[in-house]
Copies of this chain bind each other. A is one copy, B any other.
């Protein structure tokens, strides 16, 4: 630890604007389609769900979008987040590569999610909204929105995937401590939930079902809007503070990444660190490889198809073109709850189609192995999601060790694993079984993609 290992900045270096990659892409992303008539949707179609400011951000092509002062004031609680040089990990690997990680686990909710939760709560509050509904899987997003809701005085209702609701009482307690209401999904509160329960009384739930419930409640309640924790353009936009800060901190470290690696579930953490670097590549020809890492159990980018699909199970959301496994795909049980979505952010998918990013997939247990090595050498226990990125960093660093290359690797450590410790405990005790993806799971789900779009 004797070399420089942490790059911090003063609060004056919190970005004043988010970065919108739509301004720099060589081709615009495909339109979003109405779930009813199939034509492109307009702002009015989205207004029951989102405040106009966020709808505006969703379609904006402005390169820089100003961060409102009240949002920056709350960002100051934990931003700028530190960038670390992983000297301990490098030494353990004996690599010639330099590994850097941007750590978002210092936020009060323990992940990158508050970057957008605070912004969404602000814009809703500004437009007079008093209640927000949302879904959550493992609970990172739900607890972040609960945190933001508490600070802005908004009621927050979270539909939490039933199996997580039962297995993750810590996350539920965190949401309730912040004052949010947390309901197991599928619930009896919505038509979508009741329909699922009628067919499958013991349904463990899924993100797709929980999204249907939260969207339905918002669509039917004039005082309630919906908030989503990933996938959408405005959510990814808010996360770009990560990459904007990282660019400046890499300058402090007198280095520029040869490769940027991040895990991707819905895509917001990945886009948060990667888009500002892709933007520099597009504008300034600063070359960089960008790798999205996903779980082999939910491999939308690596095994899904690029097609129009629904974001939810009950097909209440618009149709977006994305890499998808089909909205009926239910992944096998694995611990990285933030990586269990059947689709991928349309913007990230579009970048993949444009050849701007690569993707690879890893199994669960090698990721926990990487996470344990990281904890023991760097002192921070990563959330299960970013262990996927850590595993990929280690693979790259070991390749450099073989070739003698002195590559600079940058990753996003998007959250700590303190609320995921039972999974680590199982892993170190040798009791964590890796999953198997059933042979036809993907094929069967893809066969049910919406036709004719």
The interface of chain A, by Cβ under 8 A from chain B, is 1-2, 5-6, 8, 10-11, 69-70, 73-74, 76-77, 84, 88, 106, 108, 110, 147, 150-151, 169-174, 176-179, 372, 375-377, 379-381, 416, 418-419, 421-422, 424-425, 428-429
- Which residues does chain B contribute within 8 Å of A70, judged by CB atoms? 1-2
Partner of A178, one of B170, B176, B376: B376
A73 touches B1 (CB 8 A): yes
A-B contact pairs, 11 of them (CB 8 A): A74-B379, A77-B84, A170-B419, A170-B422, A174-B421, A176-B424, A177-B421, A177-B428, A178-B376, A179-B376, A419-B421
A-B CB proximity, top 10 nearest: A173-B425, A173-B421, A1-B73, A170-B421, A150-B376, A177-B424, A108-B379, A176-B428, A108-B380, A418-B418
Bound-state Cα–Cα, A177 to B380, Å: 10
In angstroms, Cα B148 to Cα A241, docked, is 31
* Contact A379–B77 (Cβ < 8 Å): yes
CB pair B418 A2 closer than 8 Å: no
Interface centre among A1, A2, A77, A419 (most CB of B within 10 A): A1
Query: Which of chain B's residues have a CB closer than 8 A to the CB of A422?
Result: 169-170, 173
* Chain B residue at smallest Cβ distance from A371: B177
Report Cα–Cα, A84/B442, bound state, in Å: 49
Contact of A2 among B8, B73, B147, B170 (CB under 8 A): B73
Complex CA–CA separation, A421 to B172 (angstroms): 9
Among B151, B170, B171, contact of A379 (Cβ-Cβ < 8 Å)? B151
Neighbouring B residues of A174 by C-beta, 8 Å = 381, 418, 421, 424
CA distance A219 to B1 in the complex (A): 31
Residue of B nearest to A69 (CB): B2
Contact check, B76 vs A6: say whether CB atoms are below 8 A apart. Answer: yes
Whether A425 contacts B172 by the Cβ 8 Å rule is yes
Beyond A150-B379, A170-B425, 14 additional pairs, beta carbon < 8 A: A1-B77, A8-B10, A88-B151, A110-B418, A150-B375, A150-B376, A170-B421, A173-B421, A173-B424, A174-B421, A174-B424, A176-B424, A178-B375, A178-B381
Q: In the assembly, how many copies of this chain are there?
A: 2
Of B1, B151, B416, B418, the residue contacting A151 (CB under 8 A) is B1
Closest chain-B Cβ to A431's Cβ sits at a distance in Å of 11
Chain B residues in 8 Å Cβ range of A2: 69-70, 73
CB nearest neighbor in B for A179: B376
Q: Which residues of B contact A419 (CB under 8 A)?
A: 170, 418, 421
CB distance from A185 to the nearest CB of B (A): 18
Q: Which residues of B contact A1 (CB under 8 A)?
A: 70, 73-74, 76-77, 151
A5 to B78, CA, bound (A): 11
Which residues of the partner chain B approach A110 to less than 8 Å between Cβ atoms?
418
| CB-defined contacts of A177 to chain B, threshold 8 Å | 372, 375-376, 381, 421, 424-425, 428
Q: Are B379 and A147 in contact (CB under 8 A)?
A: yes
Complex CA distance for A88 and B77, rounded to whole angstroms: 12
The complex places the Cα of A74 from the Cα of B1 at a distance, in Å, of 6
Q: How far is the CB of A113 from chain B (nearest CB, A)?
A: 13
In the bound complex, CA of A24 to CA of B5 (Å): 36
Q: How far is the CA of A380 from the CA of B150 in the complex (A)?
A: 11
In the complex, what residues of B have CB within 8 A of residue A376's CB?
150, 177-179
Q: How far does the alpha carbon of A179 sit from the alpha carbon of B429 in the complex, in Å?
A: 11
List the B side residues contacting A73 at CB < 8 Å: 1-2, 5
How far does the alpha carbon of A433 sit from the alpha carbon of B173 in the complex, in Å? 17
- Distance between Cα atoms of A73 and B421 in the complex (Å): 27
Does A8 lie within 8 Å of B5, measured CB to CB?
no
Q: B6 contacts A77, CB within 8 Å?
A: yes
A167 vs chain B, min Cβ distance (A): 13
Inter-chain contacts of A178 with B (CB < 8 A)? 375-376, 381
Q: Which B residues lie within 8 Å of A179 (CB)?
A: 376
**Chain B neighbourhood of A425, CB < 8 A:** 169-170, 172-173, 176-177
